[in-house]
Amino acid sequence: MRSPSEPESNTTWEHLRLDAVESPDFKGDEQQARSELLESSEKHMREGLYGDLYPRRRRNMERLFELLRQSDRGDTMDLWLEARLLRLLERFDQCRQLCQSKPMYEWTFSTLQEFVWAGRGDSFPYPRRSAFADDQDAATASQLSVAAKTLHDARCYQWQQAHDEEARPTSKESRLSMLTGIGLFVMFIAAIIAWNIYSGWIALLVFIIGSTIWCNCVGDDTDLKRARMAAWTRENPKPPPMKLTLRHEILVPGGGGFPDIGG
């Protein structure tokens, strides 16, 4: 263990990696390299080590945020990391605004944590994938989760109402349905006549062939409605299942979970 009077080393992995990514000759995946460097910086900041590196750490976080903004992935992991970077940079309002750019029910638990910590102006680099250490933070997160569930239920209900309204037959579909019914009835009468004059096989052929020709000529209201609803659903997708929970997601399939907040 280092003595308080012993100078801090300047050859740690963080120092060397900062030198590497800041070099004009750096080659490789800059976003990945800076993401890995951020984890090392967070650990040292938690331990209060290498305070002289803070300006360089800040530049690394600012550059990493720029790279994430330029990325076209836009997944939930990027949203959380961008929010974390803004909070560590003490841009608390921007952090909360970024989180709120997506519906709360689409957040991960990690995003919820960043939102809660930013709400009280806390820039401490808490260990990732850990539970809330503060009971008040846990209570705030629980309230937000309930609000997210309420919002999700309301969005799903609104979507279902709009879907049911759109699923009502149009005048064209109703007309086609009526014509189809009339045609099938006529074919049925023709099949009965054929049965009486010829045989059951002839009657069956009359009904099948006649019905097919009639439907091809008139059109099928069921196919018309199916195509119309498919187009409507593409333009108005159903709200995705709620992602937000009050615990971190499982990392390894079949493995254990993570403690509830406040646990």
Tens of each residue's pLDDT in the chain, 263 residues: 344 444 455 678 899 999 999 999 998 899 999 999 999 999 999 999 999 999 999 999 999 999 999 887 656 678 999 999 999 999 999 999 999 999 999 999 999 999 999 999 999 999 998 999 899 999 999 999 999 999 999 999 999 999 999 888 877 766 666 756 666 666 777 777 777 777 766 767 766 766 666 566 655 657 777 888 899 999 999 999 998 999 987 654 444 444 444 33
* Strand, helix or coil for residue 26: coil
pLDDT at 150: 96
pLDDT at 215: 61
pLDDT at 71: 82
> Looking at the domain assignment, is residue 131 inside a domain?
yes
> Looking at the domain assignment, is residue 173 inside a domain?
no
109 by Cβ neighbours in 10 Å (0-12 / 13-18 / 19+) ranks as buried
pLDDT at 255: 41
Dihedral over alpha carbons 219, 221, 226, 231 (to 10 degrees)? 80
> Looking at the domain assignment, is residue 105 inside a domain?
yes
| CA distance linking residue 33 with residue 21, whole number of Å | 7
> Looking at the domain assignment, is residue 55 inside a domain?
yes
In the chain, the largest separation of any two C-alpha atoms, in whole Å, equals 114
Q: Which amino acid is at 156?
A: C
> Looking at the domain assignment, is residue 239 inside a domain?
no
Q: Tell which phi-psi region holds residue 130, choosing left (phi > 0), alpha (psi between -120 and 50) or beta.
A: beta
| CA distance linking residue 118 with residue 172, whole number of Å | 55
Q: Describe the chain by its helix, strand, coil percentages, rounded to 5.
A: 65, 0, 35
pLDDT at 232: 92
pLDDT at 213: 66
pLDDT at 73: 65
> Looking at the domain assignment, is residue 107 inside a domain?
yes
* Strand, helix or coil for residue 75: coil
- Vertex 26, ends 21 and 29: CA angle to 5°? 80
* Host domain of residue 105: 13-159
> Looking at the domain assignment, is residue 235 inside a domain?
no
Prediction pTM value: 0.76
| CA distance linking residue 49 with residue 43, whole number of Å | 9
pLDDT at 181: 64
Number of domains the chain is built from: 1
C-alpha dist (Å) from residue 52 to 10, 49, 199, 201, 202: 10, 9, 99, 94, 95
| CA distance linking residue 164 with residue 197, whole number of Å | 47
> Looking at the domain assignment, is residue 185 inside a domain?
no
| Sequence-distant (≥ 6) Cβ neighbours of residue 86 within 8 angstroms | 65, 92, 94, 95, 98, 118
Phi and psi, residue 170, nearest 5°? -80, 170
The H helix count followed by the E strand count for the chain is 10, 0
